[in-house]
Every structure is written in C-alpha cells, then in structure tokens.
C-alpha cells in the first residue's frame, strides 16, 4: 500500500519542434509546476495516423515503461508517460546538442576528420549505456533481457557539454514490455543491423555490440562501410561483405584498434564480444592506458567549436504556434 498519494496538476507548453520521424515527433517543451516552477524537457508524441493502431500504441507505452527505470548517465532519461485527448506522449530528458548523424554531417560539411581518440571515446560511452541496459533486472532480480536493436547514428546524442546519450528504445525487446515478432519481421536501420538481425534471426545483446562496431567504424572513416543504395542492399552487405583490414583503410587505425573493430564486427557470435562490459574495457584501455585520454569536457569543447557554440535551429510546427498539453499527474510514494 502507498505511504501516501499526491495529486498534482501540471502542464507542458510546446516551444519548438526538435526532430520529426516517420512515426513520431519530438518537441522541446516547458513543464510547468506550482509557484512558477519550469523545467525544459523533450516531448515525444505519436503521429496522429498511428494513434489508432493498437499494436503501435502498445509498443509506445511499452517503451515508456521499459526506459522509465533506466537511469544512467549515457541513456536519455524518461520522466513521464501521458495521454491527452487520445494522444500519447513521453516526457524525456532534453539534450541540448545533436545526434551523431548531424554530428557526422557537420564534420563532412566542414571537411573535418574526427580525431580517432574521440571516435573511440564516443563509442565507449555508448558501450557504457548498453552494459547498464543489458544487465538491467526487474524488481525481483530477474534479467529483463533488453536488446536495443537500433543502435545507430540517429539514436546517439551528444550534448554540447560533451555527454553522450543513447536514446530511442522504441524497437527494443525486453521480457514483458514490448510486442516482439522477431524472426518474422526485421526492425532497425539496415546499414547498422547485426548479421543475425538482418537475416531475420533471434538476437541477443551481442547484436547491439555489432551495431556499436558499425558506429565506431563510421566515426573513424566518415562513412558506413555497409551502406548500399537500398535497404535490401545494405542488409546483404551486412550479412556477406568482407570486413576490411581497417589499417589499410585508415592509417590512424593501429593494430589494437583494428583488433577491437574486428571482434566487434565478427559475424560468428562465438568470436564477437560477448558483453558490452568487455567491449567497454577494451575501448577505455585503448584511450587511457598511457595515462590521460579524452573526457566529456574534451568532447564538449570539440563539438562546440565544430558547431560554433550553437544550438540546433528551431523547427516551427506546422501551425507555427505554441501548443499546450495539460495532464493531471498522480504520484505515489511506496514504502
């Protein structure tokens, strides 16, 4: 039984559109509380044409419930799941920064090459977030079996302060939270999938580690070695294209970094990294074994200089007006 219950009314005022995807839209918003309390958050809203699809809404709700208890510095935190007039939304941590796709494009536009130690550092933070998520258990201590299944440039954020955050568990699988048709359908971005994912096979946490290896290779080379003209071509390359000797592709890649890439991108599951913790250890040892290596502050300074200390421009909503969501929250504190 709850110790006591607090009923409180609060509202969200939508400020600007941050990102627009195929199934949802993310806004920057102000959460208003009592006595002029204001907190900036991100609001993820289901597109109206998906609002009536039960399976989609069930997964949207399942995602919110899954990530609600994922509290880690390298994972975007979820604060609240709400519904207003049949519209579902998730209130999340607002990251003032860019995703890795925008980051990579800015590097290309400015003809810059990301220092290899920063590429490894960014990837190590992703591995940290995955290690935490993969090890997450329920309240009874049973493993949830979380597999993100969509580790890609778009789903990794870098704040202008240098924090790296994994986001969007929308197609993740976890026991008891999301509907899963794995083996019948394939979900994720084709050029970042693991071979088993691309081949409609059942995945486990090692699938995310292959995708993390693809991210690292992209950051180092400036392009995705598996990306084809179509999603189908990308899937075929993921499953069959020979993994290159990265030392021959980029002279900055030494023997040890090439070994890390080869193990992360191993198609044979017995040869791939078995856990994110082991990948994390090798990445961190690579950049820190001599004593000093990159930090959040190092990355923050680099990204602020790259973007001219700017914040991604606001994208007005279709109506060009401020939107308002109101919701009554019921907060229970248990013993």
Residues 6+ apart with CB under 8 A from 248: none
Distance of CA 173 to the CA centre of its chain: 14
- Indicate if the alpha-carbon torsion angle 267, 268, 269, 275 is positive or negative: negative
CA–CA dist 21, 255 (Å, integer): 39
CA–CA dist 317, 335 (Å, integer): 43
- Ordered alpha helix ranges (H), the chain: 54-67, 100-109, 116-134, 195-198, 205-221, 231-240, 246-249, 255-264, 276-288, 296-306
Exactly one of 109, 138, 140, 150 is catalytic; name it. Answer: 150
CB atoms within 10 A of CB 265: 26
CA–CA dist 186, 153 (Å, integer): 19
Q: How many helices (H) and strands (E) does the chain have?
A: 10, 9
CA–CA dist 160, 302 (Å, integer): 9
Quick one: tokens of 248?
């021959």
Query: b vs e for 61-75, b when ≥16 Cβ sit within 10 Å of the residue's Cβ?
Result: bbbbebbeebebebb
Query: Using a CB cutoff of 8 Å and minimum separation of 24, what contacts does 290-296 make?
Result: 293/117, 293/121, 294/117, 294/118, 294/121, 295/121, 295/162, 296/161, 296/162, 296/163, 296/164
- Catalytic: 58? no
- Active-site residue set: 150
């Amino acid at each position: 039984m709850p110790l006591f219950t607090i009923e409180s009314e609060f509202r969200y005022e939508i400020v600007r559109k941050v990102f627009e995807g195929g199934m949802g839209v993310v806004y920057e918003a102000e959460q208003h509380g009592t006595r002029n309390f204001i907190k900036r958050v991100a609001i993820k809203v289901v597109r109206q044409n998906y609002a009536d699809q039960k399976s989609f809404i069930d997964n949207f709700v399942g995602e919110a419930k899954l990530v609600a208890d994922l509290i880690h510095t390298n994972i975007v935190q979820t604060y609240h799941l709400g519904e207003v007039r049949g519209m579902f939304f998730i209130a999340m941590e607002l990251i003032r920064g860019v995703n890795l796709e925008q980051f990579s494009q800015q590097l290309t536009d400015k003809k810059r090459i990301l220092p290899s130690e920063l590429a490894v550092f960014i990837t190590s933070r992703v591995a940290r977030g995955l290690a935490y998520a993969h090890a997450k258990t329920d309240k009874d201590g049973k493993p949830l079996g979380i597999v993100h299944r969509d580790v890609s440039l778009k789903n990794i954020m870098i704040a202008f302060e240098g924090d790296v955050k994994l986001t969007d568990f929308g197609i993740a699988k976890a026991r008891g939270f999301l509907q899963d048709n794995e083996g019948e359908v394939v979900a994720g971005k084709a050029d970042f999938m693991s071979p088993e994912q691309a081949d409609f096979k059942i995945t486990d946490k090692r699938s995310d580690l292959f995708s993390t290896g693809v991210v690292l290779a992209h950051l180092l080379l400036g392009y995705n070695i598996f990306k084809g003209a179509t999603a189908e071509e990308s899937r075929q390359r993921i499953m069959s294209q020979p993994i290159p000797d990265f030392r021959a592709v980029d002279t900055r890649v030494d023997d040890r970094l090439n070994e890390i890439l080869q193990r992360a991108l191993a198609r044979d599951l017995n040869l791939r990294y078995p856990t994110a913790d082991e990948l994390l250890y090798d990445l961190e040892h690579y950049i820190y074994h001599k004593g000093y290596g990159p930090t959040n502050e190092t990355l923050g300074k680099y990204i602020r200089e790259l973007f001219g200390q700017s914040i991604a421009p606001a994208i007005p909503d279709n109506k060009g007006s401020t939107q308002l969501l109101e919701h009554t929250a019921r907060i229970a504190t248990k013993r």
